[in-house]
Amino acid sequence: MTIHLKYWKQDGPDAQGYFEEKTLDTVNEHMSFLEMLDVLNEELQLEGKDPVEFDYDCREGICGSCNLVINGQAHGPNAKTACCQLHMRTYNDGDHITIEPPRAAAFPVIKDLVVDRSGFDRIIEAGGYVSVKTGSAQEANSTPIEKHSSDMAFDYATCIGCGACVAACPNASASLFTGAKIAHLNKMPQGEVERYDRVVAMVDQMKEEGFGDCSNYGECEAVCPQGISISAIAEMRRDYVKAMFS
Amino acid sequence: MKLDGKIPEGPLEQKWSLHKKNMKLVAPNNRRKYEVIIVGTGLAGGAAAASLAEMGYKVKSFCIQDSARRAHSIAAQGGINAAKNYPNDGDSVWRLFYDTIKGGDYRSREANVYRLAEVANNIIDQAVAQGVPFAREYSGLLANRSFGGAQVSRTFYARGQTGQQLLLGAYQAMMRQVQEGGVEYFPRHEMLEVVIIDGKARGIITRDLVSGEIVRHEADAVVLATGGYGNVFYLSTNAKNSNVTAAWRAHKKGALFANPCYVQVHPTCIPVSGDYQSKLTLMSESLRNDGRVWVPRKKGDDRHPNDIPDEERYYYLEERYPSFGNLVPRDVASRNAKLVCDEGLGVGETGLAVYLDFRDAIKRDGLDTISAKYGNLFDMYHNIAGENPYKQPMKIYPAVHYTMGGLWVDYNLMTNVPGLFATGEANFSDHGANRLGASALMQGLSDGYFVLPATIGNYLADEEIGKRYGTDHAEFEKAAGEAQAQIDKLLSIKGKRTIVDFHRTLGKIVWDNIGIARNAEDLKKAIKEIQELREEFWTNVYVPGEKNNYNKYLEFAGRVADFFELAELMAKDALDREESCGCHLREEYQSEEGEAIRNDEDFSYVAAWEYQGVNGELKEQLHKENLEFEFVELKQRSYK
């Protein structure tokens, strides 16, 4: 396959960014999208040029490192698929593909397609946990949890923290990321104890980081590689209001 | 050098509790005066950072990813073992211990393995308390499934994402400590050197992966929780950034590296499709609970698998190992896949694949049940391979997955360098020559939550409170200089071949010669090829970009340089071990049926290597720690 690429280059957070273009003639339909970028970088290096930087690690859709915006869509065209799991068979010979970093004030560019997502860490730091110490937890089966609740908790807990929700949101809101952790812990009795303190701390931190608020566009759910439901945001907002009155 | 494993006295069942009783403690008000560096934030590192900070120690936590949550533990799919015996099928701590030591082909320490089995139950309690959403039954109680190498159901799981859920539990516990000020957190930092002063580990040198700055950090102890070295094969199921650099640089400063040739090749991975391939994807071993492994009986049978009738299918694991069937341990399953492919029965374009078929399970349990158990794995397979596993069998082949070898540690998880500890996959301690499924998560969390927090205090209690040499001490100066010099050297070569090209070529040498099956001739050839390629690397590699900026290829260059040395040590170790055990199959030492033949008389030891320099060839001296078996009888492993 021949693929025409246009990709974002930027030297650092304060540098002016620009697009570069290159056509690849050796793309194979079984390649993953990131393997296609590996090929691009090999060619660039053999030409004595600097490769394009992008974040990746596990390449099996679970670590959340990769977060490319491909032809305007976070993680590209396939539903519930991180861009490392996107394969070139999705594209046709001769296609043009534009690759950008997720664009959000709270995700400053480090270099090219690599952005700083440390705001997500600080949101978890603010309260995304159960405050239990290691060492003397009670017997695991002493607290039965209804299977349905536990399964729902799991669905929210599958968030990989990639930031596609932020990239897709016109407000660059981190509401789906934050709501998913809140909804996960709310569904378990272990998380119930700190429920209201948690929601206030995490939502306030999200604002502090410069993420926008939610206007119910629903773009986040559409691009989420784990298919996390936007109902997480409803739960977060409901609890936040309740917390204001308690 | 006399290697002392420091195994406590007493009956097996009481060693750990007696040891805990006898170890020294650091008083709560003094703990904040001790600083501990923890490199790596996977299950072992993240859990240790959280636990030590909760106890009151000052922790500095480092990881190479942009967030601690991305450590490769996150990718573990299948589950975590514990002998809770909830299913009432005869499980016990002793049985988990026995299965693990037998699974490791009697090449691990009894005391370590027993302790692992003993604390496993606490891990489940701890994870549940953190809100980890394990699979549950309609009663609301925890569910279990079976895994290879065991005849009981003792594996706890969270769909096919158990590693993710356990890691997020540890990550969240650690972030809570960041918030409380107990953990100082350094993402996007790579450890390049360990600093040893007066014979003790006193700090590390890191590179800030964003600014390129070389940074010095001082502490009272250093913990390496930096994972395994499977990426020496280039193609493995490891994440792309997983590497041996922290462990190898420690090795070059005196820490012994144990059993480097013990590499686990996981039987169920998606086969290689082309030269551009950057990594291999694992399909959880749990699939072997319901999937049946087979190849066509006839060579070159190119019919669609669904058109091949049962009597023409060779369910080779079920036929050869009737009592364990498809649930034989990983080494046995991998070796048999290779054997049938070597016989020419392999399937797919390359002939290097076997079928894993769910037809019968779907017929028996229904599509919904199978989908609930394995839905995300089936989707992942469909995505990558472009074929629907609900409708036709998966094609699978073995791939490098886990490394049992690692830094030598004693019972306290301390290396032979005082103050330098190694935990999780980075050490060698618990899995012998083969790790059973669902035991990696168990070991990482056991080390991080329970073992290290107890043993590190015993070390620190003897260390002078608040002793600081200052980061301008000559040893810091020297180590920082070495780290910088290597970076400058790599950037200055400006050769003709890319780093990926070198790494891929190295990986092929290692896979072909130090892979599923080894022999003396190939190993000797590999050593020579590795040396030649390494020479070329240092004169002809092209490293792009600059040192004072984000530069992923520069990071890789340093890691590949270390893989070159490690690869040679793996070959030496494999050559030296003239027996077959677990994952180490020497073709000269196998039965007619291809089963491993151990030589307990001569090789019942841990091979711990001491680095003595590289000059064209790698010089290493072998030290042996004899394995004593007081409580189990050494037997030829049989899963028939």
Q: What is the pLDDT of residues A30-70, one digit of tens each?
A: 999 999 999 999 999 999 999 999 999 999 999 999 999 99
Q: Compare all CA atoms of chain A with the CA of B544 and give the residue at the minimum distance.
A: A50
Q: Do B435 and B103 touch, CB atoms closer than 8 A?
A: yes
Residue B381 pLDDT grade (very low, low, confident, very high; cuts 50, 70, 90): very high
Query: pLDDT tens, B397-428?
Result: 999 999 999 999 999 999 999 999 999 999 99
Residues 175-234 of A with CB under 8 A from B: 184-185, 187-188, 190-191
**Which distant-in-sequence residues (6+ apart) come within 8 Å of B386 by Cβ?**
A30, A87, A89
Interchain CB distance below 8 Å, B126 and A50:
no
Q: Do A94 and A87 touch, CB atoms closer than 8 A?
A: no
Interchain CB distance below 8 Å, B279 and A59:
yes
pLDDT computed for residue B291 by the predictor = 95
Q: Mind giving me the DSSP string for chain A?
A: --EEEEEEE-SSTTSPPEEEEEEES---TTSBHHHHHHHHHHHHHHTTPPPPP---SSSSSSS-----EETTEET-SSTT--GGG-BGGGS-TT-EEEEE----TTS-EEETTEE--HHHHHHHHHH-S----SS-PPPGGGS---HHHHHHHHHHHT-----HHHHH-TT-B-HHHHHHHHHHHHTSHHHHTTHHHHHHHHHHHHHHTT-B---S--HHHHH-TT---THHHHHHHHHHHHHHH-
pLDDT computed for residue A200 by the predictor = 98
pLDDT computed for residue B177 by the predictor = 98
Q: Do B584 and B598 touch, CB atoms closer than 8 A?
A: no
Neighbouring C-beta atoms of residue B156, cutoff 10 Å: 29
| Mean pLDDT score across all residues of chain A | 97
The C-alpha angle with vertex A79 and arms to A78 and A80, in degrees rounded to 5, equals 120
Query: pLDDT tens, B512-559?
Result: 999 999 999 999 999 999 999 999 999 999 999 999 999 999 999 999
Q: How far is B139 from chain A (nearest CA, A)?
A: 7
All residues of chain A having their beta carbon less than 8 Å from the beta carbon of residue B552 are: 51, 53
pLDDT computed for residue B349 by the predictor = 87
pLDDT computed for residue B594 by the predictor = 73
Q: How far is B383 from chain A (nearest CA, A)?
A: 7
Q: In this complex, is the C-beta atom of A89 within 8 Å of any C-beta atom belonging to chain B?
A: yes
Q: What is the dihedral of CA B527, B531, B533, B534, to 10 degrees?
A: 130
Residue B286 pLDDT grade (very low, low, confident, very high; cuts 50, 70, 90): confident
Q: Which amino acid is at B154?
A: R
Query: pLDDT tens, B460-483?
Result: 999 999 999 999 999 999 999 999
Q: Of A94-103, A131-140, A158-167, where does mean pLDDT reach its minimum?
A: A131-140
Residue A246 scores a pLDDT above 90: no
Mean local confidence (pLDDT), B229-248:
98
Q: Which of A39, A49, A60, A197 to mutate to test the interface with B (most CBs of B within 10 A)?
A: A60
Q: Which of A9, A57, A188 to mutate to test the interface with B (most CBs of B within 10 A)?
A: A57
Can you give the CATH number for the domain in which B570 is found?
1.20.58.100
Picking from B50, B67, B453, the nearest residue to A161 by CB comes out as B67
Residue B503 within any structural domain of the chain: yes
pLDDT computed for residue B285 by the predictor = 81
Number of domains, chain B: 2
| Residues B386 and B513 placed together within one structural domain of the fold | no
Q: Compare all CA atoms of chain B with the CA of A78 and give the residue at the minimum distance.
A: B383
All residues of chain A having their beta carbon less than 8 Å from the beta carbon of residue B138 are: 147
Listed residues B373, B401, B429: the one ending a domain: B401
Q: Of A2-6, A96-100, B147-151, where does mean pLDDT reach its minimum?
A: B147-151
Residue B372 pLDDT grade (very low, low, confident, very high; cuts 50, 70, 90): confident
Residue B139 within any structural domain of the chain: no
Q: Do A99 and A5 touch, CB atoms closer than 8 A?
A: yes
- The complex's ipTM works out to 0.98
CA B306/CA B115 separation, integer angstroms: 47
Interchain CB distance below 8 Å, A147 and B140:
yes
Q: Which of A42, A63, A195 to mutate to test the interface with B (most CBs of B within 10 A)?
A: A63
Mean local confidence (pLDDT), A141-147:
96
Residue B273 pLDDT grade (very low, low, confident, very high; cuts 50, 70, 90): confident
| Residues B381 and B491 placed together within one structural domain of the fold | no
Interchain CB distance below 8 Å, A50 and B545:
yes
| Residues B593 and B499 placed together within one structural domain of the fold | yes
The C-alpha angle with vertex A160 and arms to B187 and A4, in degrees rounded to 5, equals 90
Q: Of A231-235, B230-234, B347-351, where does mean pLDDT reach its minimum?
A: B347-351
Q: How far is B240 from chain A (nearest CA, A)?
A: 5
Q: Compare all CA atoms of chain A with the CA of B372 and give the residue at the minimum distance.
A: A151
Residue B587 scores a pLDDT above 80: yes
Interchain CB distance below 8 Å, B278 and A161:
no
Residue B552 within any structural domain of the chain: yes
Q: In this complex, is the C-beta atom of A59 within 8 Å of any C-beta atom belonging to chain B?
A: yes
pLDDT computed for residue B470 by the predictor = 98
Residue B389 within any structural domain of the chain: yes
User: Which candidate, B461, B372, B49, B464, places its Cα nearest to that of B225?
Assistant: B49
Cα dihedral across residues B418, B420, B423, B425: positive or negative: negative
- Torsion-angle region of B136 (φ positive above 0: left; ψ -120 to 50: alpha; else: beta): beta
Can you give the CATH number for the domain in which B335 is found?
3.90.700.10
Picking from B126, B158, B552, the nearest residue to A137 by CB comes out as B126
Among B107, B154, B202, B330, the active-site one is: B330
The radius of gyration of chain A from alpha carbons, rounded to an integer in Å, stands at 20
Interchain CB distance below 8 Å, B386 and A87:
yes
Residue B148 scores a pLDDT above 80: no
Q: In this complex, is the C-beta atom of A130 within 8 Å of any C-beta atom belonging to chain B?
A: yes
Picking from A61, A135, A150, the nearest residue to B133 by CB comes out as A150
* Ordered domains of chain A (ranges, CATH): 3-111 (3.10.20.30), 117-245 (1.10.1060.10)
| Residues B495 and B376 placed together within one structural domain of the fold | no
CA A241/CA B6 separation, integer angstroms: 57
Q: How many CA atoms lie within 13 A of B553 on its CB side?
A: 25
**Which distant-in-sequence residues (6+ apart) come within 8 Å of B556 by Cβ?**
B499, B500, B503
Q: In this complex, is the C-beta atom of A126 within 8 Å of any C-beta atom belonging to chain B?
A: yes
User: Which candidate, B394, B401, B387, places its Cα nearest to that of B331?
Assistant: B401
Query: pLDDT tens, A71-90?
Result: 999 999 999 999 999 999 99
Q: Do A75 and A86 touch, CB atoms closer than 8 A?
A: yes
Residue B499 within any structural domain of the chain: yes
Q: Which of B138-152, B536-550, B579-593 has the highest mean pLDDT?
A: B536-550
User: Which candidate, B200, B34, B96, B106, places its Cα nearest to that of B446?
Assistant: B96
Residue B634 within any structural domain of the chain: no
SS3 for B94-121 is HHHHHHHHHHCCCCCCHHHHHHHHHHHH
Residue A219 pLDDT grade (very low, low, confident, very high; cuts 50, 70, 90): very high
Show the tokens assigned to B639.
Answer: 């899963």
pLDDT computed for residue B331 by the predictor = 87
CA A239/CA A132 separation, integer angstroms: 22
Q: Do A166 and A102 touch, CB atoms closer than 8 A?
A: yes
The position carrying tokens 């709270």 is A106
All residues of chain A having their beta carbon less than 8 Å from the beta carbon of residue B278 are: 32, 34-35, 38, 59
Q: How far is A173 from chain B (nearest CA, A)?
A: 19
Q: Which of A14, A55, A129, A209 to mutate to test the interface with B (most CBs of B within 10 A)?
A: A129
Higher per-residue confidence, B454 vs B159: B454
pLDDT computed for residue B2 by the predictor = 86
pLDDT computed for residue B502 by the predictor = 98
Interchain CB distance below 8 Å, A137 and B498:
no
Q: Do A174 and A119 touch, CB atoms closer than 8 A?
A: yes
Neighbouring C-beta atoms of residue B349, cutoff 10 Å: 10
Residue B640 pLDDT grade (very low, low, confident, very high; cuts 50, 70, 90): confident
Residue B297 within any structural domain of the chain: yes
Interchain CB distance below 8 Å, B139 and A144:
yes
Q: Compare all CA atoms of chain A with the CA of B136 and give the residue at the minimum distance.
A: A147
- Cβ contacts below 8 Å, chain A against chain B, sum to 215
Q: Which residues pair with B205 in a beta bridge?
A: B193, B216
| Residues B378 and B493 placed together within one structural domain of the fold | no
User: Which candidate, B220, B153, B170, places its Cα nearest to that of B70?
Assistant: B170
| Residues B480 and B377 placed together within one structural domain of the fold | no
Q: Whole domain around residue B380: which residue ranges? A: 265-401
Q: In this complex, is the C-beta atom of A138 within 8 Å of any C-beta atom belonging to chain B?
A: yes
Question: Which helix (H) or strand (E) covers residue B464, if one does?
Answer: none
| Mean pLDDT score across all residues of chain B | 96
Interchain CB distance below 8 Å, B128 and A143:
yes
Residue B156 within any structural domain of the chain: no
Interchain CB distance below 8 Å, B386 and A154:
no
Show the tokens assigned to B297.
Answer: 């009986």
| Residues B519 and B395 placed together within one structural domain of the fold | no
pLDDT computed for residue A62 by the predictor = 96
Mean local confidence (pLDDT), B11-17:
97
Q: Which amino acid is at A76?
A: G
Is B216 one of the catalytic residues? no
Listed residues B401, B417, B446: the one ending a domain: B401
Q: How far is A217 from chain B (nearest CA, A)?
A: 27
Listed residues B401, B418, B441: the one ending a domain: B401
